[in-house]
Structure 1
Amino acid sequence: MVQKKLKVITMALLVGTLSTGCTLVGEHKMTGGGTMASAGGDKNAVFTFNVESCGEEASGRVNYIDHSAIDFEQVGGVSFNAKVDDFGFCTLGAIEDLENGTPCNCENQFEAQFSYDSKNPQAQGEGTGFACFVDTGEGKGNFHGVVTAMNLDSGPYAGYFNAGTMNGNIQTHSCPDKNKETESE
């Protein structure tokens, strides 16, 4: 029952995001890892990330494996490591801000935009994509986060999409205090 409700919430968030433009804002740091249902396959996908936008540039890594992805079973599934190109919280921006800001796909959620390298020898190459996620907070149960989109735009996995609850954890962290770093130097 809970997973059915979360699927409805996830799809509502996704539909709302596909029709809006927004910009990535703020200083944030997030980590996460766990499994989620495969994109149509019979196994689980594994998703880990460590991303931040605490300084002038975003940084971090995203790792993802979905060996039984239904549209990629002929090449042994999806497997990649990625470098974060941009990360932040997506908010609906004014038209002027959209022209100067980074467009995003996940209104009122966190988004990591990345460049990936395939780790699958049968689907070699590089590409780009983005992941959208929500920290649902600490609590009881097997999941503490929702991945509302894992979307690969280009490269050997162009067109791959997955979303769902994560059996694992997504956590929001504080950025290091810049004043303390300056005082210690």
Structure 2
Amino acid sequence: MVHSNLKMLSAIVLASALSTGCTLVGEHKYTGGGTMASAGGDKNAVFTFNVENCDGEDVKGRVNYIDHSAIDFENIGGVSLNAQVDNFGYCTIDIDGFLNNEPLCNCENQYEAQFSYSSKNPSAQGDGTGFVCFFDTGEGKGNFHGAITAFYINDGPYAGYINYGTVNGNIQQHSCPASDE
């Protein structure tokens, strides 16, 4: 029941979030990979991504994501996708109030990558769109080097899927290469 309400709230929040889009500010480059808790399942979700906007105009990047035991998708073998990043910049919405009917991503020191995906799961074929909001916690001891504050699928075979949490792996900001100008 709580998960169904969360999915409905997510869809409402996302409709307003995607209408605003990312505000691209400056040049950014991130890579990441690791595991995080499944969206309600008993296994971990696994992901890798790279995204950059280093010339101020051309956004490029990829997202790979697997959550085999995700609630609402476990009967079809879970969520498994490859995605192309369509837009990347500072987040435009706020996660702090997510459970209180407020927006989803926190704009301060977080980034949002919007993507178009193709399912890799033969039991859930199709394409769709989604977004991931994340930040780099910096270097340090232990395995916590980043957080995903929202991983949301808007439409397609995994419509309504949402996950978020700390990362056992790394999310890292990189410098953009110097331009030839």
Question: TM-score scaled to structure 1, two decimals?
Answer: 0.77
5+ residue gaps, structure 1, are 1-16, 93-103
In structure 2, the residue matched to 1:74 is 75
Give the direction of change, closer, same or farther, for the CA distance of 1:24–1:122 in structure 2 (3 Å limit).
Answer: same
Maintained 8 Å contact 1:24/1:90: no
* Structure 2 residue 52 is the aligned partner of structure 1 residue 52: yes
Q: Equivalent pairs: percent with the same residue?
A: 73
RMSD: 2.2
TM superposition outliers: structure 1 runs of 4+ over 4 Å: 17-22
Match of 1:163, SS state, is strand
Q: How far is the alpha carbon of 1:50 from its aligned partner? A: 0.6
* Structure 2 residue 46 is the aligned partner of structure 1 residue 41: no
Match of 1:74, SS state, is helix
Maintained 8 Å contact 1:111/1:130: yes
- In 1, Cα distance between equivalents of 2:172 and 2:160: 28
1:4-153 aligned within 5 A: 23-55=23-55, 56-90=57-91, 105-108=105-108, 109-153=110-154
Map Cα deviations across residues 115-163 of structure 1 (whole Å, 9 max, x no partner). 0000000000000000000100001111100000000001000000000
Maintained 8 Å contact 1:26/1:89: no
Maintained 8 Å contact 1:35/1:167: yes
What amino acid maps onto 2:75 in structure 1?
Q
- In 2, Cα distance between equivalents of 1:125 and 1:26: 34
Q: How far is the alpha carbon of 1:24 from its aligned partner? A: 3.4
Maintained 8 Å contact 1:138/1:144: yes
Structure label with greater radius of gyration: 1
5+ residue gaps, structure 2, are 1-12, 94-103
Maintained 8 Å contact 2:91/2:133: no
- In 2, Cα distance between equivalents of 1:25 and 1:106: 16
Q: How far is the alpha carbon of 1:105 from its aligned partner? A: 4.8
- In 2, Cα distance between equivalents of 1:111 and 1:91: 8
Number of equivalenced pairs:
154
Match of 2:24, SS state, is strand
